[in-house]
């Protein structure tokens, strides 16, 4: 639907719908914490950012049209999908026999603070840098 719908604003709304659908898939995979983070960050924050970006560019084209790369892009995406499906079906996945996780939030919190402290801190620095960069970029010039 994001591909074929004519209005860019409707495409953003369908993107939010697909984000919520992916959160439902996370719940079936017993990843409750990731599902909650998905709804908060994607369906909340990023969706609001995208709606703001569409609304702040009023004189630009609101259409959702394709450019000259349409045929090669379609070909590339189709080839990629065919390759992925072939590999997934042909591979012998040795699936684990254990059941689903119970609650994952506590274990994820411990993992973030003991083996993954350095990436955690780097991620916070990255968020601060992105925030400052976004503010500087959209600032009005004197």
Partner 1 sequence: MLLLLGARVSLEQVLIVGGALFSIGLYIALAKRNAVAVLMGIELMLNAVNLTFVAFARFIESPRPLDGHVFAIFVITVAAAEAAVALALAVAIYRYRETIDVDKINVLRW
Considering only 13, 20, 43, 88, the residue that binds partner 1 (CB under 8 A) is 88
Q: How far is the CB of 7 from partner 1 (least distance, A)?
A: 11
Q: Is 117 an interacting residue with respect to partner 1 (CB under 8 A)?
A: no
DSSP letters spanning 7-38: BHHHHHHHHHHHHHHHHHHHHHTT-HHHHHHH
Considering only 65, 102, 118, 142, the residue that binds partner 1 (CB under 8 A) is 65
Considering only 7, 76, 117, 121, the residue that binds partner 1 (CB under 8 A) is 76
Considering only 13, 17, 20, 50, the residue that binds partner 1 (CB under 8 A) is 50
Residue 104 near residue 31 (C-beta atoms within 8 A): yes
Residue 23 near residue 39 (C-beta atoms within 8 A): yes
Q: Is 4 an interacting residue with respect to partner 1 (CB under 8 A)?
A: no
- Return all residues near 36 (Cβ < 8 A) that are at least 6 apart: 23
């Amino acid at each position: 639907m994001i591909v074929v719908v004519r209005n860019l604003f409707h495409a953003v709304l369908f993107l939010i719908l697909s984000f919520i659908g992916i959160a439902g898939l996370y719940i079936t995979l017993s990843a409750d914490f990731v599902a909650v983070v998905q709804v908060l960050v994607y369906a909340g924050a990023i969706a609001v950012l995208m709606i703001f970006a569409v609304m702040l560019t009023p004189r630009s084209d609101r259409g959702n049209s394709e450019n000259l790369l349409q045929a090669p892009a379609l070909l590339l995406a189709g080839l990629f999908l065919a390759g992925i499906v072939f590999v997934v079906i042909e591979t012998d996945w040795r699936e684990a026999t254990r059941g689903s996780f119970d609650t994952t939030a506590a274990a994820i919190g411990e993992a973030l603070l003991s083996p993954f402290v350095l990436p955690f801190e780097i991620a916070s620095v990255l968020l601060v840098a992105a925030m400052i960069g976004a503010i500087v970029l959209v600032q009005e010039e004197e």
